[in-house]
């Protein structure tokens, strides 16, 4: 089947960020216009803002199957990751200085851990298997009596590979170790069904802008009883752990985005799964040379490659036809993917890789258009 369409705009870079949905925008505008008080103020406008803060916190806690007082708002996933890693290290340094992480972490995890290594910490960086995730046995083998922190992401932001966080947690408990387990849940929150108790992580980082909420707001789940030090000092906001007047419009928008995502999660997952499978099938049919890198991971992220082509050239042509995709994480700004390198893929596969990431608002018509434009690009560039 070869169906060409008039030029259309297709946004397939939802793992980088998503469009803010209208209901969230309306909620944020309402808070800015009406509930603009400081949540710490005792007058009626302060109480109204404090109520909005409590509702947002409860929505997020419900989505994680956590308690509201285990949710701490941050400026995003990067701050949440830095808080979890740096403050855990500060708290636990007397018990041991060994940390486990992986070769496929987002820079928001990799960089603070690198800084700790430069300051005398011993880091074990686990390699992925050929499917892109960290196996349970590899984690168990790396775990030691002096391992005070393990930080491994739940869903990889480039390939969609899912790490078995539950298995890591069970191994820590089986050996009766005091290791804190942190996971970057930015790409899995409200997309894959999980409860923090079942997941077993002590610390989970999440963000709003991957699920049709605003940028600049995220949260860190801190399991009850975990005495993580404060990240900012000053006022008593966030129960004394993160000082500073709360970003109420963004927090309210985050809470509303999560509430809606939870209501729609099952339906959206089915839709996106169908779309991802359709896109993979059409790519293989129309471009037999295409390599599907993703394997049994999150349906929201499809990693593909056209060996023999350059990602930048393919992306440039796709963009000229209205299609937005990426080659790796947006924060890498075009650098070669170390995630794909960690998977030990061939150089020509890495060099021709594209990340296609979906949202609930994408359609099969858009997917078909993408496939046809990519096929057209391959024929033109080959000449």
**In the predicted structure, residue 2 carries a pLDDT above the cut 50:** no
Average pLDDT over residues 359-365: 98
Return the biggest CA–CA distance within the chain: 70
Q: Give the contacts of 203 (CB within 8 A, at least 6 positions apart).
A: 84, 88, 180, 181, 182, 183, 220, 221, 222, 223, 226, 228
Confidence (pLDDT) at 17? 98
Domain 10-20+265-382 has CATH 3.90.1150.10: yes
Confidence (pLDDT) at 334? 53
Confidence (pLDDT) at 76? 97
How far is C-alpha 90 from the chain's CA centre?
25
Confidence (pLDDT) at 246? 95
Can you point out the beta strands (E) in 157-241? 180-184, 203-207, 218-222
User: DSSP 3-state assignment of 219?
Assistant: strand
Average pLDDT over residues 190-202: 95
Give me the half-sphere count of Cα atoms (radius 13 Å) on the Cβ side of residue 248. 25
By the 8 A CB rule, do 302 and 160 touch?
A: yes
Average pLDDT over residues 3-30: 91
Cite the DSSP H helix spans in 208-335.
Answer: 248-286, 311-320
**In the predicted structure, residue 383 carries a pLDDT above the cut 90:** no
Confidence (pLDDT) at 109? 97
Q: In angstroms, rounded to a whole number, what is the distance separating the alpha carbons of residues 88 and 182?
A: 10
Q: Is 331 a catalytic residue?
A: yes
Instruction: Return the sign of the alpha-carbon dihedral for residues 152, 97, 107, 339.
Output: negative
- Per the prediction, the chain carries an average pLDDT of 94
Which of 337, 65, 89 has its CA nearest to residue 195?
A: 65
Give me the percent of the chain exceeding a pLDDT of 70: 96
Average pLDDT over residues 302-311: 95
Q: What is the pLDDT of residues 96-151, one digit of tens each?
A: 999 999 999 999 999 999 999 999 999 999 999 888 999 999 999 999 999 999 99
Same fold, 10-20+265-382 and 22-260: no
Q: In angstroms, rounded to a whole number, what is the distance separating the alpha carbons of residues 313 and 67?
A: 48
Reading the block at residue 125, the tokens are 């960086």
By the 8 A CB rule, do 53 and 45 touch?
A: no
Residue 148 has phi, psi (to 5 degrees) of -95, -20
Give domain limits for the chain. Answer: 10-20+265-382, 22-260
Q: What is the pLDDT of residues 316-350, one digit of tens each?
A: 999 999 999 998 654 445 566 888 988 889 999 99
Q: What is the pLDDT of residues 235-269, one digit of tens each?
A: 999 999 999 999 999 999 999 999 999 999 999 99
Which of 181, 173, 257, 274 has its CA nearest to residue 222?
A: 181
**In the predicted structure, residue 3 carries a pLDDT above the cut 80:** no
Q: In angstroms, rounded to a whole number, what is the distance separating the alpha carbons of residues 65 and 53?
A: 18
By the 8 A CB rule, do 248 and 52 touch?
A: yes
CA 63, 198, 238, 91: dihedral to nearest 10 degrees? Answer: -160
Confidence (pLDDT) at 342? 87
Residues counted in the chain = 383
Q: In angstroms, rounded to a whole number, what is the distance separating the alpha carbons of residues 73 and 56?
A: 10
Reading the block at residue 282, the tokens are 């059409």
CA-angle at 318, arms to 314 and 320, nearest 5°? 120
Number of H helices, E strands in the chain: 13, 12
Q: Indicate the DSSP class of residue 221.
A: E
* Residue tagged active-site, from 2, 190, 324, 331: 331
pTM for this predicted structure: 0.94
Class of domain 22-260: alpha beta
Q: In angstroms, rounded to a whole number, what is the distance separating the alpha carbons of residues 113 and 121?
A: 9
Q: Give the contacts of 125 (CB within 8 A, at least 6 positions apart).
A: 101, 102, 103
Q: What is the pLDDT of residues 136-193, one digit of tens each?
A: 999 999 999 999 999 999 999 999 999 999 999 999 999 999 999 999 999 999 999 9
Confidence (pLDDT) at 130? 81
DSSP string, 31-96: HHHT--S-TT--SHHHHHHHHHHHHHHHHHHHHHT--GGGEEEESSHHHHHHIIIIIHHHHHTTT-
Instruction: Return the sign of the alpha-carbon dihedral for residues 242, 245, 249, 255.
Output: positive
Q: Which of 3-12, 238-247, 270-279 has the lowest mean pLDDT?
A: 3-12
Confidence (pLDDT) at 1? 39
Q: What is the pLDDT of residues 50-75, one digit of tens each?
A: 999 999 999 999 999 999 999 999 99
User: DSSP 3-state assignment of 171?
Assistant: helix
């Amino acid at each position: 089947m070869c169906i060409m369409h008039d030029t259309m705009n297709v946004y397939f870079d939802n793992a980088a960020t998503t469009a803010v949905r209208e209901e969230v925008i309306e909620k944020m505008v309402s808070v800015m216009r009406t509930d603009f008080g400081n949540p710490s103020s005792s007058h009626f406008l302060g109480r109204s803002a404090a109520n909005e803060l409590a509702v947002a916190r409860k929505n997020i806690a419900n989505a994680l199957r956590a308690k509201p007082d285990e949710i701490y708002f941050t400026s995003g996933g990067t701050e949440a990751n830095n808080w979890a890693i740096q403050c855990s290290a500060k708290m636990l340094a007397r018990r041991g200085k060994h940390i486990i992480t992986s070769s496929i972490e987002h820079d928001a995890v990799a960089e603070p851990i690198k800084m700790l290594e430069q300051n005398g910490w011993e880091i074990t960086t686990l390699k992925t298997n050929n499917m892109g995730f960290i196996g349970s046995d590899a984690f168990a083998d790396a775990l030691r009596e002096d391992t005070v922190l393990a930080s491994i992401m739940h869903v990889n932001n480039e390939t969609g590979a899912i790490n078995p966080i539950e298995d890591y947690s069970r191994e820590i408990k089986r050996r009766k170790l005091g290791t804190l387990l942190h996971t970057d849940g930015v790409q899995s929150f409200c997309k894959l069904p999980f409860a923090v108790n079942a997941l077993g992580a002590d610390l989970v980082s999440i963000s709003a802008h991957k699920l049709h909420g605003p940028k600049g707001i995220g949260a860190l789940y801190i399991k009850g009883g975990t005495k993580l030090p404060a990240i900012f000092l000053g006022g008593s906001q966030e129960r004394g752990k993160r000082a500073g007047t709360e970003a109420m419009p963004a927090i309210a928008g985050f809470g509303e985005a999560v509430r809606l995502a939870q209501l729609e999660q099952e339906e959206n997952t089915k839709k996106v799964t169908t779309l991802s499978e359709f896109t993979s099938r059409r790519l293989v049919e129309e471009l037999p040379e295409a390599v599907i890198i993703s394997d049994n991971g999150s349906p929201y992220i499809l990693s593909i490659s056209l060996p023999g082509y350059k990602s930048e050239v393919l992306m440039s042509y796709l963009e000229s036809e209205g299609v937005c995709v990426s080659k790796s994480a947006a924060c890498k700004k075009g650098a070669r993917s170390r995630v794909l390198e960690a998977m030990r893929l061939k150089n020509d596969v890495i060099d021709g890789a594209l990340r296609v990431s979906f949202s609930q608002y994408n359609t099969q018509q858009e997917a078909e258009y993408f496939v046809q434009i990519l096929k057209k690009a391959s024929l033109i560039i080959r000449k």
